[in-house]
Amino acid sequence: MTPSFAALHADCAALGTRLFTITTLDTQADLARRAYTSHPVEYPTAGTKPMTRDGWHDFCITGQQTFVANTAPEFARYFFDHGLITSMGLGSCINVPVVHDGTVLATVNLLAEEHHFTPERLAAYHALIARHHAALVADLTQ
């Protein structure tokens, strides 16, 4: 576990995040890997999965924008594990791309109860991630 991931997790948890993961991207191999998780039983860090080219990918990875879904139906069409997510009492998420030199290295994935990501909270999360950006990039590129 890298210190920057754990520090960002703690800061996000203080704002109400209930599930926190970081997913790294290997665009050359077209693979994603969970590099950090707050819930290792439900979301382990072992293994990789193929990157799916869909609307979420177009928006978050290609467009380098934060994906926000404040209800389960908003994310269910993109997340195959939406049943597990909702069974954990989670109904909203954001995926924030970590960009370095024009490339998305990873996404910071935050989940909470439905309607958690208000504009004010979203701004607070973006400020936290920006504050941790240099450390995240250092850990992701080592």
Q: Buried b / exposed e across 92-106, counting CB within 10 Å, b at 16+?
A: bbbbbbbeeeeebbb
pLDDT of residue 48: 86
Cβ 136 vs Cβ 94: under 8 Å: no
The two tokens of residue 68 are 């926000």
Average pLDDT score, the chain: 95
> Angle, nearest 10°, between helix axes 3-14 and 119-141?
170
Q: Could you report the per-residue pLDDT of 25-71, keeping only the tens digit for each? A: 988 898 999 999 999 999 999 888 889 889 999 999 999 999 999 99
- Average confidence (pLDDT) over 57-86: 96
**CA 126, chain centre distance (Å):** 12
Cβ 15 vs Cβ 124: under 8 Å: yes
Segments in 15-118 forming alpha helices (H):
55-56, 72-76, 82-87
Cβ 23 vs Cβ 136: under 8 Å: no
What DSSP character marks residue 39?
-
Query: What is this structure's pTM?
Result: 0.95
- What architecture is the 3-141 domain classified under in CATH? 2-Layer Sandwich (3.30)
- Average confidence (pLDDT) over 101-125: 97
- Work out the pLDDT band at 1, boundaries 50, 70, 90: low
